[in-house]
Amino acid sequence: MHVLVLGGTTEARRLAEALVDTLPATARVTSSLAGRVTSPKLPPGEVRVGGFGGAEGLAAWLRAHQVSALIDATHPFAETISFNAAAAAAAAHVPLLALRRPGWVPGEGDAWHTVGSLADAATALPALGQRVFLTTGRMGLAAFAELDQLWFLMRSVDAPEAPHPAHMEVLLDRGPFTLEGERELIRRHRIDVVVTKDSGGAATAPKLAAAREARIPVVVVRRPPVPEGVAVAGTPEQALTWLRAQGGSQV
């Protein structure tokens, strides 16, 4: 058995750990990382870094390395690789599962403004606040580059590149974050609106609770859909159950 995990997320690392612990020594577990983050946390098992060359390149890799099952455990917003994975799995006749942590759900007291894209988030911002806590990562900052009248606190793992907003302070940090820490960021920087992607998970959720407490709006970018026809699991444990159903009796 050879399982390829398209990774880079906490769930992908947890799945790789479970597979390495569960599968016999003769099985292979390979995690593929995009290589966009400096010094990523490496999962156990074999690791490859970099792209495949689109859907055709991934399909060729699946065939050449005799992959038995493909699990797309990338970030919920890694839309391109997810659609490439679906096309490649179909072409190579390899079972495919999308591992997606559940999205966030607004609670009582939340002032969420759900939008379909970063561009839509940028359009909504001027009417909602002037000091923005931008937590959408360093990719896609061009969508906010023309908002010269606003000030941004931008948090990401690695430093951003231009184009980006003219009035921006960069905070390099990696989750998980605490509610106390998020409260302090909002207070110290006088944040009056938060922008986030619906990434889900507990590691970055405290900013939502902090925004609720501060009674400030949150612009939430809706996650893209999983490619049509692809099975979905919400946890690594569910992914293991799916793998057993594919004939992986050794799992």
Please, what are the domains in the chain? 2-102+224-245 (3.40.50.720), 112-221 (3.40.50.720)
pLDDT tens, residue by residue, 184-199: 999 999 999 999 999 9
Q: Are strands 193-197 and 131-134 parallel, antiparallel or unpaired?
A: parallel
Q: How far is CA 160 from CA 26, 41, 91, 165, in A?
A: 42, 20, 36, 11
- What integer pLDDT is reported at residue 241 of this predicted model? 93
Mean pLDDT computed over every residue of the chain: 93
Cα–Cα dist 251/237, whole Å: 11
- What integer pLDDT is reported at residue 39 of this predicted model? 66
- What integer pLDDT is reported at residue 19 of this predicted model? 93
* Coil, strand or helix at 90: helix
Cα–Cα dist 92/38, whole Å: 31
- pLDDT of 110 > 60? The answer is yes
Mean pLDDT value of segment 223-229? 93
Give the model's confidence band at 24: pLDDT under 50 very low, under 70 low, under 90 confident, else very high. Answer: confident
- What integer pLDDT is reported at residue 251 of this predicted model? 54
Cα–Cα dist 102/201, whole Å: 7
Predicted structure pTM score: 0.85
Pick from 146, 163, 165, 8: nearest CA to 73: 8
Q: Identify the top-confidence range among 10-14, 193-197, 245-249.
A: 193-197
Cα–Cα dist 27/85, whole Å: 22
- pLDDT of 67 > 60? The answer is yes
Helix (H) or strand (E) holding 4: strand 2-6
